[in-house]
Amino acid sequence: MTKKKNVLLIADSDKTSQKMLSLFLDEAEFKLVDCTTGRQAIQLCVSLHPDLVLLDPDLPDMNGPDLIRNLREWSEVPIIIISVDTDNESVISCLNEGASDYVFKPFNADVLKARINAALRSAAVQETGEPELVNGPLRMDLVRHEVFLNDSLLPFTPKEYNLLRYFIVNRGKMLPLREILKEVWGDAHAEDTQYLRVFVGQIREKIETDSSIPALIITEPGIGYRMEIAEIASLHEQGVLRLSA
């Protein structure tokens, strides 16, 4: 089963640098997408919504500060500068326009990975208030895109992960079917209610004590779903899940 990976966009015209990054970064954790111009970087940010951008500010068609300024008009994606130029003024210009961090080439693999994870963690905190989402026995690591039940790692596909994340972020709220479909799948799937039922069923098989009598994800017939707010930490110890009033 495919795990959801963090998508990293590498905007760098240096092919050697791109190759080094592909060697340094774990393919099990990151999906790498390469481009060589600022225009391509903007287009890919629009279409892919990457989790983080690694940016060499010396692109052939656009400098770093201009590209960052353009992205910051509509996106808060974390941006880490990767530059061979150790000129502090260039780095400061990029940081002032909204870059998250910087690493000089040739980069140390451990330092680069640590700064990537720190930027991803910070972005998760800005979006949800915490780097993790927790509801009773369920825990979602928003940086590593992992789901745990009673601290046991569960196999989740990317779409299952996105759907569960939406439920936990909105726990306690009644969510109409069309709203869920639009937020998780997009406007084109707003009427695919059967599609949604299949995925809810798959998630229930993984997180409920008895998926035929769900206690976490509740169905309101003809309306939608609600994720209840769980009070206890373990489904297995209690046998059933008690819920808050």
CATH number at residue 71: 3.40.50.2300
Tell whether pTM > 0.75: no
CATH of the domain at 233: 1.10.10.10
Of 151, 150, 148, which is closest to residue 161 (Cα–Cα)? 148
User: Containing H/E element for 8?
Assistant: strand 6-11
Pairing state between β 79-83 and 52-55: parallel
What is the pLDDT at residue 201? 95
Domain count of the chain? 2
pLDDT confidence bin for 186, thresholds 50/70/90: confident
pLDDT confidence bin for 26, thresholds 50/70/90: confident
Residue 1 has pLDDT above 70, yes or no: no
Alpha helix (H) ranges present in 98-226?
A: 109-128, 158-169, 177-184, 193-207
Tell me, yes or no, whether 113 lies in a domain: yes
194 and 118 share a domain?
no
217 and 124 share a domain?
no
96 and 183 share a domain?
no
138 and 87 share a domain?
no
105 and 206 share a domain?
no
Tell me, yes or no, whether 155 lies in a domain: yes
189 and 227 share a domain?
yes
DSSP secondary structure string for all residues of 45-98: HHHH--SEEEE-SB-SS-BHHHHHHHHHTT----EEEEES---HHHHHHHHHHT
Q: Answer with the one of 87, 106, 128 that is the final residue of a domain.
A: 128
160 and 76 share a domain?
no
- 66-98 pLDDT tens trace: 999 999 998 889 999 998 876 678 788 898 899
Residue 155 has pLDDT above 60, yes or no: yes
Give the pair of three-digit tokens for residue 28.
């099990």
Q: Answer with the one of 128, 145, 171 that is the final residue of a domain.
A: 128
What is the pLDDT at residue 122? 84
Tell me, yes or no, whether 140 lies in a domain: yes
Tell me, yes or no, whether 184 lies in a domain: yes
191 and 229 share a domain?
yes
Domain that holds residue 136: 132-238
Tell me, yes or no, whether 95 lies in a domain: yes
108 and 138 share a domain?
no
Give the pair of three-digit tokens for residue 92.
């400061």
154 and 229 share a domain?
yes
Helix (H, G, I), strand (E, B), or coil: what is residue 170? coil
Tell me, yes or no, whether 166 lies in a domain: yes
25 and 109 share a domain?
yes
Range 140-146 contact pairs with CB under 8 angstroms and sequence separation of 24 or more? 140/164, 140/165, 140/168, 143/6, 143/117, 144/6, 144/29, 145/3, 145/4, 145/5, 145/6, 146/3
What is the pLDDT at residue 234? 41
- Residues 129-157 have a mean pLDDT of 89
171 and 105 share a domain?
no
Identity of the highest mean pLDDT range in 63-72, 128-137, 176-185, 230-239: 63-72
Cα of 27 vs its chain's centroid, Å: 16
Residue 229 has pLDDT above 50, yes or no: yes
Tell me, yes or no, whether 243 lies in a domain: no
pLDDT confidence bin for 233, thresholds 50/70/90: very low
Tell me, yes or no, whether 244 lies in a domain: no
Q: Answer with the one of 128, 152, 182 that is the final residue of a domain.
A: 128
CA distance linking residue 156 with residue 41, whole number of Å: 29
CA distance linking residue 213 with residue 67, whole number of Å: 52
Break the chain down into helix, strand, coil percent, rounded to 5: 40, 20, 35
Of 131-135, 231-235, 238-242, minimum mean pLDDT range: 238-242
What is the pLDDT at residue 125? 77
Contact 206, 156 (CB under 8 A): yes
More confident residue, 190 or 97: 97
